């Protein structure tokens, strides 16, 4: 089925043939705006494409894909202008390559009285050229059409995409070791786009995200496979087209899937495009675009260039909105043991990340992110021998960090702080691990006094025979701790206060006598 975008492209090609000089100038100007990143927004809105172009001020564009003559631009042009065409190029690049459009445009002949030629009619594509990204995408698109026709029900579509369609593409991928990973990388990006298109209210969001992450994992793997061959001269054209396509896929992506597409962008820049030293020119392409997607891309490129001050300036500007993305940069620095850089990033981003975790909607999610962050910080502390940030994070992430903080205090023999933590959490002495209590009794008996005092008061407060017996048993244990600390005079004062405060509780007074707590 021919899409409205393809219908508009057919009209465009037949109405503005490149055999005329003025149309070639129009295309050249639009391409320049597009490649310089001057198209800030381009998205579909019903039967229209709307966009904003930076060209001596902002130009607002509306392209009507049904009634082409109703298209307009705030520059005042009464026919197709460079801003309208640049907006369409940007929108087209989100799912196709610019090279494929221009190739069809060049091949086309001017329309005749018989009407426009069906340039974008679906055709069988049973093979592809190893050296043509456009032919790869046409081939994958054709295979996808065949797959959709073969499934018995749309309910099996997404499952089959990962378990049937993509495995088939693996079998049909080029055999050349230099080209094969790039083909599979683009096949994965294609699948991601199809998965995102299928998302609606009937599909659980997390289910869609899990499927997307499977393809993101493939992209990461294939990007690593391209690491050495990325500098090969024969891949130069393919990589340039890929870089353009992936950038525009990210810039055109809407919520709620910006994160997944950005991860894909990160992985290809980590291992593929960075090898061609294209980071400076990519930053120029993104210049002037203040969208979240563009800002994320700029931050990652600055991060790869080790321009941490510039990268962190953007992080601070976006703060909470950036928090989910910061984990990957911190993890990358931890993995590479870049201690000084990690320290710089943590100083800026730790407050942002901890606030974000507290704002997450569920305890499970808060705990999951806390565990992930503290694992990263544990490795950092072990490597640098500095645990100040680790401790600060544990404190600020309470109660979700209780497990790590409790263990840290016990293992570092900070027993009094360990007891303070139990009291803050409201835990009772009887619920704490016996071996830890025994260890603290040996090392620092005084630390346990507050836990025993509270436990005794709680037992007395229950006002029944069994609880009074429990209270006297706890008093005996506490007495032994007072003796160890050589505080017998303080103990006598304490037990007299207990006796005075409970003199109306006859049953408890009897238990005190049985326990020989007589200090008159």
| Residue 230 contacts residue 181 (beta carbons within 8 Å) | no
pLDDT, tens only, 232-259: 767 888 898 899 899 989 988 888 999 9
Within this chain, do residues 150 and 103 fall inside the same structural domain, yes or no? no
Domain boundary among 283, 305, 327: 305
At residue 2, the pLDDT reads 65
Residue 228 pairs with which residues in a beta bridge? none
At residue 139, the pLDDT reads 92
Within this chain, do residues 138 and 102 fall inside the same structural domain, yes or no? no
At residue 315, the pLDDT reads 96
Within this chain, do residues 166 and 292 fall inside the same structural domain, yes or no? yes
Domain assignment of residue 414, yes or no: no
pLDDT, tens only, 127-146: 888 888 888 998 999 999 88
Structure-model confidence comparison of residues 469 and 122, the more confident one:
469
Cα 239–Cα 242–Cα 246 angle in degrees, nearest 5: 140
Average pLDDT score over residue span 456-466 = 92
* Domain ranges, residue 477: 426-514
Nearest to residue 94, comparing CAs of 56, 59, 51, 124? 51
Within this chain, do residues 95 and 16 fall inside the same structural domain, yes or no? yes
Domain assignment of residue 382, yes or no: no
Domain boundary among 260, 277, 305: 305
Within this chain, do residues 214 and 69 fall inside the same structural domain, yes or no? no
**Burial class of residue 384 in the structure, from the number of CB atoms within 10 Å of its CB (0-12 exposed, 13-18 middle, 19+ buried):** middle
b/e map of 84-116 (b: 16 or more CB within 10 Å)? Answer: bbbbbbbbbbbbbbbbbbbebbeebeeeeeeee
Domain boundary among 273, 290, 305: 305
Within this chain, do residues 93 and 183 fall inside the same structural domain, yes or no? no
pLDDT band at 469 (very low <50, low <70, confident <90, very high): very high
In the chain, the percentage of residues whose pLDDT exceeds 70 is 95
d(CA 370, CA 394): 9
d(CA 168, CA 188): 12
Q: What's the Cα-to-Cα distance from 157 to each of 145, 146, 162, 192, 200, rounded to whole Å?
A: 12, 12, 9, 13, 14
pTM equals 0.72
Domain assignment of residue 340, yes or no: no
Within this chain, do residues 168 and 298 fall inside the same structural domain, yes or no? yes
Highest mean pLDDT of the ranges 20-24, 72-76, 131-135, 393-397: 393-397
Domain assignment of residue 496, yes or no: yes
The answer, yes or no, to whether residue 195 has pLDDT greater than 80, is yes
Nearest to residue 244, comparing CAs of 101, 346, 363? 101
pLDDT band at 116 (very low <50, low <70, confident <90, very high): very low
Domain assignment of residue 286, yes or no: yes
d(CA 189, CA 215): 7
Domain assignment of residue 257, yes or no: yes
At residue 156, the pLDDT reads 86
Within this chain, do residues 261 and 166 fall inside the same structural domain, yes or no? yes
Within this chain, do residues 150 and 280 fall inside the same structural domain, yes or no? yes
Give the up-direction half-sphere exposure of residue 460: CA atoms within 13 A in the CB hemisphere.
22
Average pLDDT score over residue span 183-207 = 91
b/e map of 133-147 (b: 16 or more CB within 10 Å)? Answer: bbbbbbbbebbbeeb
pLDDT band at 520 (very low <50, low <70, confident <90, very high): low
pLDDT, tens only, 41-76: 788 877 889 988 888 778 889 898 888 878 889 888
Domain assignment of residue 324, yes or no: no
Within this chain, do residues 140 and 87 fall inside the same structural domain, yes or no? no
Give the up-direction half-sphere exposure of residue 498: CA atoms within 13 A in the CB hemisphere.
28
At residue 112, the pLDDT reads 43
Within this chain, do residues 138 and 100 fall inside the same structural domain, yes or no? no
Mean per-residue pLDDT over the chain, rounded: 88
Within this chain, do residues 147 and 233 fall inside the same structural domain, yes or no? yes
Q: What is the number of structural domains in the chain?
A: 3
Average pLDDT score over residue span 277-303 = 93
Domain assignment of residue 372, yes or no: no
d(CA 314, CA 349): 11
The answer, yes or no, to whether residue 1 has pLDDT greater than 80, is no
pLDDT, tens only, 91-105: 888 888 888 888 888
């Amino acid at each position: 089925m021919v899409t409205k975008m393809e219908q508009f492209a057919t009209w465009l090609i037949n109405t503005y043939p490149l055999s005329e000089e003025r149309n070639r100038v129009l295309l050249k100007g639009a391409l320049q705006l597009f490649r310089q990143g001057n198209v800030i927004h381009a998205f579909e809105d019903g039967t229209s494409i709307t966009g904003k172009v930076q060209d001596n001020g902002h130009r607002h564009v509306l392209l009507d894909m049904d009634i082409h003559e109703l298209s307009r631009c705030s520059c005042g042009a009464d026919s197709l202008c460079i801003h309208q065409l640049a907006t369409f190029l940007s929108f087209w690049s989100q799912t196709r390559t610019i090279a494929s459009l221009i190739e069809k445009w060049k091949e086309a002949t001017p329309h005749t009285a018989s009407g426009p030629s069906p340039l974008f009619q679906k055709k069988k594509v049973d093979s592809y050229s190893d050296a043509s990204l456009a032919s790869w995408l046409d081939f994958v698109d054709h295979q996808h059409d065949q797959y959709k026709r073969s499934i018995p029900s749309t309910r099996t579509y997404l499952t089959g995409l990962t378990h049937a369609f993509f495995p088939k593409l693996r079998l049909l991928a080029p055999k050349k070791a230099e080209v094969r990973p790039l083909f599979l990388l683009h096949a994965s990006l294609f699948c991601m786009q199809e998965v995102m298109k299928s998302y609606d209210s009937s599909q659980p969001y997390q289910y869609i995200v899990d499927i997307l992450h499977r393809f993101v994992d493939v992209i990461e793997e294939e990007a690593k496979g391209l690491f050495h061959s990325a500098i090969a001269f024969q891949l130069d054209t393919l990589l340039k087209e890929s870089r353009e396509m992936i950038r525009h896929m990210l810039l055109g992506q809407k919520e709620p899937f910006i994160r997944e597409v950005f991860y894909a962008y990160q992985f290809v820049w980590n291992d593929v495009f960075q090898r061609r030293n294209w980071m400076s020119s990519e930053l120029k392409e993104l210049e002037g675009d203040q969208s979240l997607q563009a800002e994320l891309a700029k931050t990652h490129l600055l991060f790869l260039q080790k321009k941490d001050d510039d990268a962190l300036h953007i992080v601070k500007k976006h703060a909470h909105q950036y928090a989910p993305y910061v984990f990957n940069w911190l993890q990358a620095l931890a993995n590479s043991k870049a201690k000084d850089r990690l320290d710089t990033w943590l100083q800026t981003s730790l407050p942002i990340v901890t606030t974000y975790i507290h704002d997450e909607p569920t305890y499970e999610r808060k705990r999951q992110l806390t565990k992930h962050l503290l694992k990263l910080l544990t490795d950092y502390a072990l490597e640098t021998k500095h645990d100040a940030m680790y401790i600060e994070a544990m404190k600020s992430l309470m109660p979700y960090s209780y497990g790590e903080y409790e263990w840290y205090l016990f293992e570092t023999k900070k027993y009094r702080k360990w007891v303070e933590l139990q009291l803050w959490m409201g835990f009772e002495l009887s619920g704490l691990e016996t071996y830890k209590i025994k260890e603290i009794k040996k090392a620092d008996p005084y630390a346990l006094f507050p836990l025993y005092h509270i436990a005794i008061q709680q037992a007395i407060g229950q006002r029944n025979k069994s609880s009074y017996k429990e209270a006297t048993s706890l008093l005996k244990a506490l007495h032994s701790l007072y003796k160890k600390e050589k505080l017998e005079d303080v103990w006598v004062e304490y037990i007299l206060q207990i006796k005075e405060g409970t003199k109306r509780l006859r049953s408890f007074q009897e238990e005190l006598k049985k326990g020989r707590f007589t200090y008159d």
